[in-house]
Amino acid sequence: MSGPGQRMSVVDAVQTSDSYIRGAGREFLVAIYTALRSLKLYPIENAQVQKSLDDLAGTAQRILDREQEIEVRVTGEFLFVNSTRLRLDLDNYASFSHVLGMLRGAGAGLVRAESGADRREWTSFLSLLMAAAAHSAGGTHLLELQGRLREAGVTHIVVEPPLESEMTEEEQERQKEQAKRTYQRSVAVTKEVINSVRMGRSANVKKVKRAVQAIVDQVLADETSLMGLSTLRDYDDYTFTHSVNVCIFSIALGKKLGLTKLQLYDLGMAALFHDVGKARVPLEVLNKEGSLSDEDWRIMQAHPWLGVLTLFGLRGYGEVPYRSMITAYEHHMKTDLTGYPKSLRPRPMSIFSRIIAVADGFDAATSRRVYKTNPLQPDSVLHEMLNNRRRGLDPVVVKSFINLLGIYPLGTMVILDTYELALVVSANADVTEVHRPMVRIISDPGGSITSPGFLANLADKDATGTALRSIIKVTDPDRYGVRVSDYFV
Ligand SMILES: [Fe+2]
Ligand SMILES: [Fe+2]
């Protein structure tokens, strides 16, 4: 029997958690401050340092046991712990502002710890944070700190940059540059592997693994800049860019679905390798212009199991997660098993395959390929993916994907009621404004194309509460001679 007094409403639950975090969050920040101070004053063996680290690890563990994660976010002059703003008062002023300054000095806007963050990780984290904050004069190097943490085996504590709106122009530029490098390197590595397989040579799986890890790290730090690069869909190297795009979308989607970082690494490997079997499909079939013959289709449809064979044959295939083989095999099966290869027995598709099938479907449908010259606009692809059950996609995964991309996915070209043309840059962070994404305006009101144009938030309103700009309709960039990727690279 549960009476009304015993049940907890969602509101109650949130409030209880709020007041818990207000106390525990404060305790946690004071513990960080104390540890930072003593690490600065004494050598690490010192008893006081050791005690402060014990305290910190203990305090963190108690919060993790209850809340599963600790997320400290810096927004302006405020500190939030698990979305609860901590009140600043005279007692905690010194400790809060010290921690705030330290995070800012290192270029971090957020620190997130999850279960598994132990005393050793906290110790490495604090030492590296101190070093990063001390050497930051002349620019912040968050990426360096992220790299050091990785090297030190700190896997349960991550630092991320401040939200985009708080990044300086220069920081945004650096993120973009980094994303470009990660993207190009991944394409190069994929090309190397596929070509090696084609030539019957051995391929370096370790390199692929490193490329995937870089993508995961980048997506966790800032997903928009890498996803922007996926607009490079009309690139010559379709096979390679397609694999990298599917990898980026799958990782971003996996993150949204709550996978851990280690799961994201495996998912990323599986996504990058999903079409590896195409390396065994003759090029004249793969690149054929015009429609494919029945025989061509038969060969194309062999790529899933050819993929499994290829993965087994890769040098050091022990490094290829077993799940990559399953997804290579399953990604065209469809959830109702009407796809290929045919399954004799009913089987549930693995969650990795469901995620990759959605990312694959989206990238393929929005790409320009030899045998399909008119790609659909991204928003209609999403619409179709959701409504056409014959595609056999998992509707829950598709919905998360739409949540991720917004109803106007990035790269969509739109006409505004000001008669300006614009490209969608990202979904609006405010979920109540799904129809009003962030855009880059790329023309004057007369329709003359400008480059690089300027950013605008379609949710911006004038004094009367009327939106400054609204989308009238989606249009095809080709009609205006616009290469979408030029604005993202
Ligand atoms: Fe495929
Ligand atoms: Fe594919």
Task: Give per-residue pLDDT as tens, 33-50.
Answer: 999 999 988 988 999 999
One domain for residues 136 and 221? no
Q: Residue 405: is it exposed, middle or buried by C-beta count within 10 angstroms (0-12/13-18/19+)?
A: buried
Task: Give per-residue pLDDT as tens, 355-407.
Answer: 999 999 998 888 765 444 566 777 888 888 888 889 999 999 998 888 788 77
Question: CA Rg, the chain, in Å?
Answer: 25
One domain for residues 157 and 174? no
One domain for residues 177 and 242? yes
**How many Å lie between the centroid of ligand 2 and the Cα of residue 364?**
7
> Using the 8-state DSSP alphabet, how is residue 225 labeled?
H
pLDDT at 343: 85
Residue 3 in domain? no
Measured CA to CA, the distance from residue 316 to residue 208 in angstroms comes to 12
Which residues are bridge partners to 421 per DSSP?
A: 415
One domain for residues 349 and 441? no
Measured CA to CA, the distance from residue 363 to residue 383 in angstroms comes to 14
Ligand nearest to the CA of 364: 2
**How many Å lie between the centroid of ligand 1 and the Cα of residue 110?**
37
pLDDT at 164: 56
Q: Residue 351: is it exposed, middle or buried by C-beta count within 10 angstroms (0-12/13-18/19+)?
A: middle
Which residues are bridge partners to 424 per DSSP?
A: 439
pLDDT at 315: 62
Write out the residue range of the structural domain in which residue 91 sits.
10-162
Ligand nearest to the CA of 247: 2
**How many Å lie between the centroid of ligand 1 and the Cα of residue 246?**
10
**How many Å lie between the centroid of ligand 1 and the Cα of residue 365?**
13
The CA-CA-CA angle for residues 168, 133, 72, to 5°, reads: 75
Domain count for the chain: 3
pLDDT at 114: 92
Amino acid at 121: E
Is the separation of the CB atoms in 212 and 190 below 8 Å?
no
pLDDT at 49: 93
pLDDT at 46: 92
One domain for residues 158 and 229? no
**How many Å lie between the centroid of ligand 2 and the Cα of residue 232?**
16
One domain for residues 266 and 214? yes
Is the separation of the CB atoms in 144 and 174 below 8 Å?
no
**How many Å lie between the centroid of ligand 1 and the Cα of residue 425?**
28
Residue 221 in domain? yes
Ligand nearest to the CA of 277: 1
Boundary-marking domain end, from 162, 182, 208: 162
One domain for residues 202 and 139? no
Candidates 290, 360, 353; CA nearest to 323 is 353
**How many Å lie between the centroid of ligand 2 and the Cα of residue 355?**
12
One domain for residues 188 and 315? yes
> What helix, strand, coil percent values describe the chain, rounded to 5?
55, 10, 35
One domain for residues 372 and 451? no
**How many Å lie between the centroid of ligand 1 and the Cα of residue 204?**
22
**How many Å lie between the centroid of ligand 1 and the Cα of residue 225?**
25
pTM tops 0.85, yes or no: no
**How many Å lie between the centroid of ligand 1 and the Cα of residue 309?**
14
**How many Å lie between the centroid of ligand 1 and the Cα of residue 112?**
35
> Using the 8-state DSSP alphabet, how is residue 167 labeled?
S
For the chain, counts of helices (H) and of strands (E): 17, 10
Ligand nearest to the CA of 307: 1
Residue 385 in domain? yes
Boundary-marking domain end, from 355, 388, 405: 405
Residue 5 in domain? no
Low-confidence ranges of the chain (pLDDT < 50): 1-15, 138-139, 235, 370-372
Boundary-marking domain end, from 129, 162, 195: 162
**How many Å lie between the centroid of ligand 1 and the Cα of residue 9?**
46
Ligand nearest to the CA of 271: 2
Residue 4 in domain? no
**How many Å lie between the centroid of ligand 1 and the Cα of residue 352?**
14
Ligand nearest to the CA of 242: 2
**Residue 211 belongs to domain with CATH number:** 1.10.3210.10
Is the separation of the CB atoms in 179 and 226 below 8 Å?
yes
Is the separation of the CB atoms in 382 and 405 below 8 Å?
yes
Residue 36 in domain? yes
The whole-angstrom distance between residue 128's C-alpha and the CA centroid of its chain comes to 24
One domain for residues 136 and 281? no
Residue 158 in domain? yes
Helix/strand/coil (H/E/C) assignment for every residue in 340-383: CCCCCCCCCCCHHHHHHHHHHHHHHHHCCECCECCCCCHHHHHH
One domain for residues 294 and 393? yes
Ligand nearest to the CA of 300: 1
Residue 33 in domain? yes
pLDDT at 155: 92
**How many Å lie between the centroid of ligand 2 and the Cα of residue 345?**
24
pLDDT at 1: 39
One domain for residues 376 and 423? no
**How many Å lie between the centroid of ligand 1 and the Cα of residue 342?**
14
Candidates 298, 409, 401, 306; CA nearest to 354 is 401
**How many Å lie between the centroid of ligand 2 and the Cα of residue 80?**
41
pLDDT at 141: 74
**How many Å lie between the centroid of ligand 2 and the Cα of residue 425?**
24
Is the separation of the CB atoms in 52 and 28 below 8 Å?
no
Ligand nearest to the CA of 239: 2
Strand order across the beta sheet in which 421-426 lies = 449-457, 438-443, 421-426, 413-416, 471-475
**How many Å lie between the centroid of ligand 2 and the Cα of residue 242?**
7
